[in-house]
Amino acid sequence: MDKTKLLLQKLIAKGMTLATAESCTGGLLGKKITDLSGSSAAYLGGVISYCNDVKQRILDVSEEDLDAFGAVSEPTAWQMAEGVRKLLGANLGVGITGIAGPNSDETNKPVGLVFIGVSNGQTILVREYHFLGDRAAVREHACAEAVDLLLGLVGK
Amino acid sequence: MDKTKLLLQKLIAKGMTLATAESCTGGLLGKKITDLSGSSAAYLGGVISYCNDVKQRILDVSEEDLDAFGAVSEPTAWQMAEGVRKLLGANLGVGITGIAGPNSDETNKPVGLVFIGVSNGQTILVREYHFLGDRAAVREHACAEAVDLLLGLVGK
């Protein structure tokens, strides 16, 4: 079964809600979830934080961390996840930040570097990925891994 | 040329920024914009307001209007557009709310009904659409029309 569909089914079965914070994927994860009819039973929505101001001001990512580590970093990913979870009042939050390419950002981090954070308000996980492929491939990989991390957090 | 690409080029040429508020499209418009590399020069991000609480609390859509007219309505569309424009501090905002199907919402409005609002802070336009086709088709149509409305607001 499609893993996004599996995630949605598990969320609904457990009465849990989800919020998404997307930077490099720019709405792709939200799109994938809402491709599924009935997703409104678990998916509250999210924030596409394509610029740092939105990360900081709306998702409450620390300005100091953004300055010190950059937008594509572990602290940014988990703060996006926890920030959107709190903002929307969801059980689970996910944050995705990365370099989809073809160009890097001002930090010259490598294309394909993506950090994904997930939070249920008690446990926060962050993982670092180095995806190969073009912009579209990096974005697809990031969404697939985000769904996997969320599945892990939802449990069996 | 692809109209989303044309919109991005015009925004960049005019030094204008864009924010999106998506309900029924659930991130698809953000995804389409950020499919384009370089989109961060004009696209600040957006809010996926898949539930009414997010529309009201984060995008400042009037609770009275939501109660009186429903989430899929003209007032909701323009308030989403103006709300996300203000929240993100963008020059332009767009709001999309509709019934993508296969089922209606609690109001029993017809599947395919979509309202799209655009705002530049001075002019607000809202249009009502009745799209044919399945869930995916309705969502695609909605994004295409949103881009058209934005192109009209950006000017030549």
Compare CB distances from A31 to B26, B40, B46 and report the shortest one's residue: B26
Q: Are strands A92-98 and B92-98 parallel, antiparallel or unpaired?
A: unpaired
Structure tokens at B90: 């963008």
Taking 70 as the pLDDT cut, the residues of chain A under it are 156
Homologous superfamily (CATH) for A3-154? CinA-like (3.90.950.20)
Residues pairing with B124 in the sheet: B119
Tens digits of per-residue pLDDT, B75-121? Answer: 999 999 999 999 999 999 999 999 999 998 888 999 999 999 999 99
On the question of pLDDT at B156 being above 80, the answer is no
Tens digits of per-residue pLDDT, B25-71? Answer: 999 999 999 999 999 999 999 999 999 999 999 999 999 999 999 99
Report the alpha-carbon distance of residue B95 to residue B110 in Å, rounded.
19
Distance from CA of B87 to the nearest CA of A (A): 8
Q: For chain B, say whether A48 makes contact (Cβ under 8 Å).
A: yes
Residues in chain A with CB shorter than 8 Å from the CB of B76 are: none
Residues pairing with B118 in the sheet: B94, B125
pLDDT at B148 (0 to 100): 98
pLDDT at B155 (0 to 100): 83
* Closest to B121 (Cα-Cα) out of B146, B151, B91, B77: B91
CA B31 to chain centroid, in Å, comes to 13
Q: What is the DSSP letter of A97?
A: E
Percent of chain A having pLDDT more than 70?
99
pLDDT at A4 (0 to 100): 98
B58/A136 CB distance under 8 A: no
Q: For chain B, say whether A133 makes contact (Cβ under 8 Å).
A: no
pLDDT at B80 (0 to 100): 98
Compare CB distances from B43 to A30, A35, A50 and report the shortest one's residue: A50
Report the alpha-carbon distance of residue A117 to residue A120 in Å, rounded.
10
Tens digits of per-residue pLDDT, A49-60? Answer: 999 999 999 999
pLDDT at B105 (0 to 100): 86
Tens digits of per-residue pLDDT, B114-148? Answer: 999 999 999 999 999 999 999 999 999 999 999 99
Distance from CA of B97 to the nearest CA of A (A): 13
Interface ipTM: 0.97
Q: Closest-CA residue in chain A for B29? A: A27
The residue with tokens 């990512």 is: A61
Compare CB distances from B31 to A26, A44, A101 and report the shortest one's residue: A26
DSSP 3-state of A116? strand
CATH class of the region B3-7+22-154? alpha beta
Q: Closest-CA residue in chain A for B46? A: A48
Report the alpha-carbon distance of residue A150 to residue A118 in Å, rounded.
7
Residues in chain B with CB shorter than 8 Å from the CB of A22 are: 27, 30
Report the alpha-carbon distance of residue A37 to residue B104 in Å, rounded.
11
* pTM of this prediction exceeds 0.90: yes
Report the alpha-carbon distance of residue B144 to residue B4 in Å, rounded.
8
* Side-chain-side CA neighbours of residue A7 (13 Å): 27
